[in-house]
Amino acid sequence: MYDKIFPPKKVSLSNGKVVLQKRSRTPLILIILIIAIIISMNFTDFSFSVLFTNIGQFFSIIGQMIPPNWSYLPKLWDALMDTLKMSLLGSLIGAIIALPFAVLASSNIIKSKIIVVIFKVILSLLRTLPTLVSALIATFVFGLGPMAGMVAIFLFTVSYVGKLLYEAIENVNMGAFEAMESIGMTRIQAFRYAIMPQVLPGYLSQSLFCFEGNVRYAAILGYVGAGGVGLLINEDLGWRDYPSVGMIIITLVVTVFIIERISEHFRKKLI
């Protein structure tokens, strides 16, 4: 289509041969991008003048966060532990439940097409649902508190680990599986000894990575009443108590950093 509107350039080589050089698509893509940017700017009322006159506000808030309110730490401790607990529990249970889901969604293990499609659809629907929305729904069912946050994190972990795991299972070398079936093992035994060893390191490493991300997510879930640090952040920003917010952010940064280091250590060992 594009080549018909802008015919390819003809280049004659020194030996008299004529070759066609396709026109670059870059200008077209650039024009589309610029139009999309302009439309988006109109939609979102983007204005540089507002940005440049008021950006000082942003930095003054950051300025007020320093120095942080150290005496806030004891009050923060319980909430931080709640956040850690719900992300740990949600990730653990989620990673375990993701295993059967992933098996049921991989087309080389399950012969029935219908089951595979159903589980793939379930996993991708769960994945598109934003965590905050599922947390909010969970607060209606399980009441306010860390339980709702745990459920939201659990759902996200199942979908995330489940998707990566079924992709891994579908890409394994099936030779060992077939060999074990041929010597009379059941499908479950063959799965356990032929496929699990191939996908296990990847599975554990993805679960750890997901846990890292979940700690960050868990920190905001309190905003909808699902327990943890988010609740405090919401309150303190509402009261414009910025030194306390600064303290919360520092503890979060330290916690996430430590967890990242630990998980990175184990993930390096796994691969």
- Closest Cα to residue 260, out of 218, 212, 217? 212
Dmax over CA atoms of the chain, in Å, equals 83
Answer yes or no: are the C-beta atoms of 151 and 138 closer than 8 Å: yes
Distance CA 65, CA 248 (A): 10
Q: Candidates 98-106, 168-176, 188-196, 213-221 — which segment interacts with other proteins by CB under 8 A? A: 213-221
Neighbours of 33 (CB within 10 A): 10
Selected from 132, 174, 185, 270, the binder of other proteins by CB under 8 A is 132
Give whichever of 150 and 169 is closer to other proteins, judged by the CB atom: 150
Asked if 48 touches other proteins (CB under 8 A), the answer is no
User: What is the distance between the alpha carbons of residues 153 and 160, in angstroms, rounded to a whole number?
Assistant: 10
How far apart CA 161 and CA 61 sit, in angstroms, is 38
Asked if residue 68 binds other proteins (CB under 8 A), the reply is: no
In whole angstroms, the minimum distance from the beta carbon of 83 to other proteins comes to: 10
Q: Which stretch binds other proteins (CB under 8 A): 4-12, 101-109, 139-147, 177-185?
A: 139-147
Alpha carbon distances (Å) from 55 to 33, 38, 60, 130, 237: 26, 22, 9, 29, 18
Of 12, 21, 44, 182, which one interacts with other proteins (CB under 8 A)?
Answer: 44
Among 76, 80, 86, 169, which residue sits at the site for other proteins (rule: CB under 8 A)?
A: 86
For the chain, counts of helices (H) and of strands (E): 12, 2
Interacting stretch for other proteins, rule CB under 8 A, among 9-17, 66-74, 190-198, 244-252?
A: 244-252
Rounded distance between C-alpha atoms, residue 1 and residue 271, angstroms: 46
Q: Any contact of residue 28 with other proteins (CB under 8 A)?
A: no
Token pair in block for residue 24:
């670059």
Binding mask 92-131 toward other proteins (x if CB under 8 A, else -) reads x-------------------------------xx--xxxx
Catalog residues that contact other proteins under the rule CB under 8 A: 36-37, 39-41, 43-47, 50-51, 54-55, 57-58, 61-62, 81-82, 84-86, 88-89, 92, 124-125, 128-133, 136-137, 140-147, 150, 216, 219-220, 223-224, 227, 230, 233-234, 237, 245, 249, 252-253, 256-257
